[in-house]
Chain A
């Protein structure tokens, strides 16, 4: 028994030594912090996949500063305190040079103190509410003015006069809708033409605009009936920040009430191509979406990107990757862009040091991504193109309008003044 144990220890030591000798000099550790289990896994697993694909693509071309990227993938498990623990592990134990991760705003908020304390660098790829500008987070994500306000501009141009705000009850929809309320008022839309209800504090200031339902809400009868009455008096659009699978009962009820994309279109900020895999796409035909990337963009760069990703999916040996019916979407492309921007910054700085990389990022680096050119800004956000699209029966978007080079602006609350 003793012998066996000794043998095993010796073997393990030898293996460890071998592994470290291979890895020590020519690799750089990079963290991937997404939920691979729990409720968010459906969305976040796709980001892990695209990140691993990007690392392979960069490594095949010689890596970053001559070093191969060595991903350290950890599972946040849709558990926000666990996100902070895993972030701590990545920074203090694995000493990663950079982390790509987080989806929900609450997970970002919970890892933020860890990154600030350890002076780490996190690339955050998913549309968010703004009101934040950390020196330790680079937001490749869509700011509110790169998704929500362009969508409103488009709707106003189409002649819509009434807007109904609805969302899932958490920080992103609440903040976004408050910004949208101010934006709509500044565009001359009367308060009575903004539906969903308002909550006011004691001084009469509006602290919450729109109708909110919890995660996993299933009964939308009452709300849809309200929308139907609201939409009777003029051209109405519904602005939805409903998240995840609550969209299914919402849209089924919406269709059953006889509301269609022709009579009252819904513009959703949380439904991308990836979410469509679990939604009844046929019932959503004609509804609107607004992102900084659509898979249907007809540029050669995008076509090549989609083809490369699909090819990689076929050949990859990473366990647990779904290979059938995969699509690309904006958070995935922003993750992809993020890795290349980090690479560019590291190469410009000539170092993996976070302070130097940050300075390089702030200097305005550009990358021609699948969604067009993106440029880093001094405020740790990204200038990029914004697209409005309508959904097709195949779960893709037909692009209706494009806004070129929109500057990412995180501080929007209080910016738009009513006339």
Chain B
């Protein structure tokens, strides 16, 4: 077993070294040259030249050197000296596998077998405090050259915010090598922040640089440096600092303004998506549909099911039985497309549930709106309980596809992909609904039946069928909304309850019976809500003020933003 693990570790090391050996030989050679150099100043110079390099060999070699892990090995046959490092587990004789420093590969004996050596028998490569200091400097800054950009930026920030003036040369060197624009920006910022601790001239350049960079993160440090300058009686320097702060404040205002606009738009789009179905069933058809929220939940659960079918399958407590649903074990991008499949399925499922509801209950209640309120409320409770029995009363997890979990950051303003998607999709849905209502014969029939059911019926329109399809369309749109809600919030049996009030609010403010009104009111409520949150810095107070504003608004305009005028005697 032991030999087996050792075999493995050697193999792994071998693979690892193979990968990096081809990438760059230079740092290895530099280290060997440094080891062999006679003159200490030359050694330090050579080690120093490694600062800012990103070769993977540097870290293990220098760490080993510092800790007496590099050795000079004399081959048994001749007088050839080979520099080696020992790695892997020690065997029974305390021997470890030897790796050649020049290429990182296992040292082979004449028979071509890996050589195992005991550290104590060999001469370790020497080092002293000055050399160790130079090596530590290289190792400290090695992180600045991490291949992963995100980690590199983190390391750059960590070095910068430690404000260690001695690190300036290293940062400068890295800046000269750096190609990634994000990392370059971080380096400039880190350099400037560090220079806040250096000479007055440097401070001045640093203030100006940070002003140009609009560096949000260095705000506190600039303020400290500015106050120090004030105390030291250097008005010019303090003024430069104040300018930098002002520029950053301005930048922050800009971020907040556009950020709020975007967040308002995204909240408005969500309101729009959840409410547009209700704008049809309640607005156009006049059914006070309290089960609208459950249609959203049906859509969300459909997405959940589709996700699991694309994945590993799932067992649901279906009305007390364990119902196993097999999965197709999709991976990679194919798995990620589940959401695209879930969208139409959510629409269809919710539309079918809606049609069933219309056929079984609502069609008897078209002339009795208050009773339809009670009946649909009952249906909503029934559906909630059914969802509980089918999927359990706990919330379920829906994981977002990778293209919906990320963001674009433009000039420090964050645009979440899921939010952009929601905004775009809200536009698409509105466009689609507009197309259906105005450009198709079904739309024509819908509009005629909604305007005057009796007259349309007299003209030979099959109003029953149109009612059914319209209700199905409204419910289907709610199902689509559910698919989106599953990407940003909870999916649970009571999901619909959280949205039903918002839905009615949006439709009523927009003006019952008017789709355009719903659009304006959704975006308006979203923007006002987010702006108030930004100004008041309090999510609850913002929401309360929005509700108060809506109550006052409806006092002033009881029929909402847009009044639908009709010649219908019923109205």
Using CB atoms and an 8 Å cutoff, list the residues of chain A in contact with chain B.
Answer: 41-42, 169, 192, 197, 211-214, 216-219, 221-223, 225-226, 228-229, 232-234, 245, 248-249, 252-253, 255-258, 262-263, 277-283, 322, 324
B397: contacting residue among A211, A262, A281, CB under 8 A: A281
Q: Determine whether the beta carbon of A258 is less than 8 Å from that of B414.
A: yes
- Which residue from chain B places its CB closest to the CB of A213 in the assembled complex? B539
Is there a chain A Cβ closer than 8 Å to B216's Cβ?
A: yes
Q: Determine whether the beta carbon of A222 is less than 8 Å from that of B263.
A: yes
Query: Considering the chains assembled together, what is the distance between the CA atoms of A262 and B267 in angstroms?
Result: 28
- Which residue from chain A places its CB closest to the CB of B485 in the assembled complex? A218
Residues on the B chain within 8 Å of A281, using CB: 397
Query: Considering the chains assembled together, what is the distance between the CA atoms of A315 and B409 in angstroms?
Result: 54
**Closest CB-CB distance, A235 to chain B, in whole Å?**
8
Interface bin, chain B: 35 or more
- Which residue from chain A places its CB closest to the CB of B262 in the assembled complex? A221
9 A-B residue pairs with CB within 8 Å: A214-B539, A222-B533, A245-B395, A252-B405, A253-B488, A256-B405, A256-B416, A280-B399, A322-B392
Chain B stretch 524-557: residues in CB contact (< 8 A) with chain A? 529-530, 533-534, 537-540
Residues on the A chain within 8 Å of B267, using CB: 219, 221
**Closest CB-CB distance, B79 to chain A, in whole Å?**
51
Query: Considering the chains assembled together, what is the distance between the CA atoms of A218 and B488 in angstroms?
Result: 8
Q: Determine whether the beta carbon of B488 is less than 8 Å from that of A197.
A: no
Q: Determine whether the beta carbon of A221 is less than 8 Å from that of B530.
A: yes
- Which residue from chain A places its CB closest to the CB of B216 in the assembled complex? A232
B395: contacting residue among A212, A213, A263, A278, CB under 8 A: A278
> Would you give the 0/1 interface string for B401-437, flagging 1 where the beta carbon is closer than 8 Å to chain A?
0000111010000101111000000000000000000
Q: Determine whether the beta carbon of B488 is less than 8 Å from that of A249.
A: yes
Q: Determine whether the beta carbon of A218 is less than 8 Å from that of B489.
A: yes
Query: Considering the chains assembled together, what is the distance between the CA atoms of A67 and B220 in angstroms?
Result: 67
Query: Considering the chains assembled together, what is the distance between the CA atoms of A214 and B540 in angstroms?
Result: 7
**Closest CB-CB distance, A274 to chain B, in whole Å?**
10
- Which residue from chain A places its CB closest to the CB of B534 in the assembled complex? A222
Q: Determine whether the beta carbon of A252 is less than 8 Å from that of B400.
A: yes
- Which residue from chain A places its CB closest to the CB of B150 in the assembled complex? A262
Residues on the A chain within 8 Å of B377, using CB: none
Query: Considering the chains assembled together, what is the distance between the CA atoms of A211 and B537 in angstroms?
Result: 9
Q: Determine whether the beta carbon of A219 is less than 8 Å from that of B539.
A: yes
Is there a chain A Cβ closer than 8 Å to B218's Cβ?
A: yes
Residues on the A chain within 8 Å of B409, using CB: 258
Q: Determine whether the beta carbon of B392 is less than 8 Å from that of A225.
A: no
Residues on the B chain within 8 Å of A218, using CB: 488-490, 498
Query: Considering the chains assembled together, what is the distance between the CA atoms of A197 and B541 in angstroms?
Result: 14
Is there a chain A Cβ closer than 8 Å to B97's Cβ?
A: no
**Closest CB-CB distance, A233 to chain B, in whole Å?**
5
Query: Considering the chains assembled together, what is the distance between the CA atoms of A240 and B484 in angstroms?
Result: 26
Residues on the B chain within 8 Å of A249, using CB: 488-490
Query: Considering the chains assembled together, what is the distance between the CA atoms of A278 and B392 in angstroms?
Result: 11
Residues on the B chain within 8 Å of A222, using CB: 260, 263, 530, 533-534, 539
- Which residue from chain B places its CB closest to the CB of A395 in the assembled complex? B397
Given known contacts A212-B540, A256-B416, A256-B419, A278 and B220 CB-to-CB distance under 8 angstroms: no
Residues on the A chain within 8 Å of B530, using CB: 221-222
Query: Considering the chains assembled together, what is the distance between the CA atoms of A169 and B543 in angstroms?
Result: 14
Query: Considering the chains assembled together, what is the distance between the CA atoms of A279 and B393 in angstroms?
Result: 13
**Closest CB-CB distance, A328 to chain B, in whole Å?**
16
Q: Determine whether the beta carbon of B406 is less than 8 Å from that of A245.
A: no
Is there a chain A Cβ closer than 8 Å to B161's Cβ?
A: yes
Residues on the B chain within 8 Å of A221, using CB: 263, 266-267, 416, 419, 530
B221, B395, B407, B529 pick with most chain A CB within 10 angstroms:
B395
- Which residue from chain A places its CB closest to the CB of B395 in the assembled complex? A278
Q: Determine whether the beta carbon of B498 is less than 8 Å from that of A277.
A: no
Q: Determine whether the beta carbon of A233 is less than 8 Å from that of B398.
A: no
Query: Considering the chains assembled together, what is the distance between the CA atoms of A386 and B240 in angstroms?
Result: 50
Given known contacts A228-B414, A229-B216, A278 and B540 CB-to-CB distance under 8 angstroms: no
Is there a chain A Cβ closer than 8 Å to B25's Cβ?
A: no
Chain B stretch 247-282: residues in CB contact (< 8 A) with chain A? 252, 255-256, 259-260, 263, 266-267
Query: Considering the chains assembled together, what is the distance between the CA atoms of A29 and B395 in angstroms?
Result: 34
Given known contacts A221-B263, A222-B533, A225-B263, A245 and B492 CB-to-CB distance under 8 angstroms: yes
Residues on the A chain within 8 Å of B534, using CB: 222
B405: contacting residue among A216, A223, A234, A255, CB under 8 A: A255
B216: contacting residue among A233, A253, A258, A279, CB under 8 A: A233
Given known contacts A225-B259, A229-B216, A324-B315, A253 and B416 CB-to-CB distance under 8 angstroms: yes
Q: Determine whether the beta carbon of B393 is less than 8 Å from that of A262.
A: no
Residues on the B chain within 8 Å of A255, using CB: 405
Q: A42-B393, A214-B539, A324-B317 are in contact. List 13 more A-B contacts (CB 8 A).
A: A42-B395, A197-B538, A221-B267, A221-B416, A248-B489, A252-B405, A256-B405, A278-B492, A280-B397, A282-B399, A322-B392, A324-B315, A324-B322
**Closest CB-CB distance, B116 to chain A, in whole Å?**
35
Query: Considering the chains assembled together, what is the distance between the CA atoms of A54 and B533 in angstroms?
Result: 48
Query: Considering the chains assembled together, what is the distance between the CA atoms of A281 and B539 in angstroms?
Result: 26
Query: Considering the chains assembled together, what is the distance between the CA atoms of A72 and B506 in angstroms?
Result: 48
Residues on the B chain within 8 Å of A283, using CB: 399, 405
Residues on the A chain within 8 Å of B394, using CB: 42, 277-278
**Closest CB-CB distance, B37 to chain A, in whole Å?**
38
A-B interface, 10 closest residue pairs, ranked by CB to CB distance from nearest = A278-B395, A232-B217, A256-B416, A221-B263, A222-B533, A249-B489, A232-B216, A245-B490, A280-B397, A278-B394
- Which residue from chain B places its CB closest to the CB of A197 in the assembled complex? B537
B406, B409, B490, B492 pick with most chain A CB within 10 angstroms:
B490
**Closest CB-CB distance, A150 to chain B, in whole Å?**
26
Is there a chain A Cβ closer than 8 Å to B219's Cβ?
A: yes
**Closest CB-CB distance, A258 to chain B, in whole Å?**
5
Is there a chain A Cβ closer than 8 Å to B205's Cβ?
A: no
Residues on the B chain within 8 Å of A232, using CB: 216-217
Q: Determine whether the beta carbon of A217 is less than 8 Å from that of B488.
A: no
Residues on the A chain within 8 Å of B221, using CB: 233
Is there a chain A Cβ closer than 8 Å to B154's Cβ?
A: yes
**Closest CB-CB distance, A280 to chain B, in whole Å?**
5
Q: Determine whether the beta carbon of B533 is less than 8 Å from that of A258.
A: no
A225: contacting residue among B220, B317, B414, CB under 8 A: B414
- Which residue from chain B places its CB closest to the CB of A263 in the assembled complex? B154
Query: Considering the chains assembled together, what is the distance between the CA atoms of A264 and B538 in angstroms?
Result: 22
Residues on the B chain within 8 Å of A42, using CB: 393-395
Q: Determine whether the beta carbon of B540 is less than 8 Å from that of A213.
A: yes
Residues on the A chain within 8 Å of B487, using CB: 252
Query: Considering the chains assembled together, what is the distance between the CA atoms of A282 and B398 in angstroms?
Result: 10
Is there a chain A Cβ closer than 8 Å to B108's Cβ?
A: no
Is there a chain A Cβ closer than 8 Å to B20's Cβ?
A: no
Q: Determine whether the beta carbon of A169 is less than 8 Å from that of B397.
A: no
**Closest CB-CB distance, A247 to chain B, in whole Å?**
9
Residues on the B chain within 8 Å of A229, using CB: 216, 252, 255
Query: Considering the chains assembled together, what is the distance between the CA atoms of A248 and B274 in angstroms?
Result: 19
Query: Considering the chains assembled together, what is the distance between the CA atoms of A263 and B416 in angstroms?
Result: 17
- Which residue from chain A places its CB closest to the CB of B221 in the assembled complex? A233
Is there a chain A Cβ closer than 8 Å to B396's Cβ?
A: yes
Query: Considering the chains assembled together, what is the distance between the CA atoms of A283 and B538 in angstroms?
Result: 26
> Would you give the 0/1 interface string for B320-340, flagging 1 where the beta carbon is closer than 8 Å to chain A?
001000000000000000000
Chain B stretch 93-142: residues in CB contact (< 8 A) with chain A? none
Residues on the B chain within 8 Å of A280, using CB: 397-399
**Closest CB-CB distance, B51 to chain A, in whole Å?**
24
Residues on the A chain within 8 Å of B419, using CB: 221, 256
Query: Considering the chains assembled together, what is the distance between the CA atoms of A279 and B492 in angstroms?
Result: 11
- Which residue from chain A places its CB closest to the CB of B260 in the assembled complex? A222
Chain B stretch 358-399: residues in CB contact (< 8 A) with chain A? 392-399
- Which residue from chain A places its CB closest to the CB of B408 in the assembled complex? A258
Residues on the B chain within 8 Å of A282, using CB: 399
Residues on the B chain within 8 Å of A211, using CB: 537, 539
Chain B stretch 307-324: residues in CB contact (< 8 A) with chain A? 315, 317, 322
Query: Considering the chains assembled together, what is the distance between the CA atoms of A262 and B394 in angstroms?
Result: 30
Q: Determine whether the beta carbon of A278 is less than 8 Å from that of B396.
A: yes
Query: Considering the chains assembled together, what is the distance between the CA atoms of A169 and B161 in angstroms?
Result: 35
Residues on the A chain within 8 Å of B217, using CB: 232-234
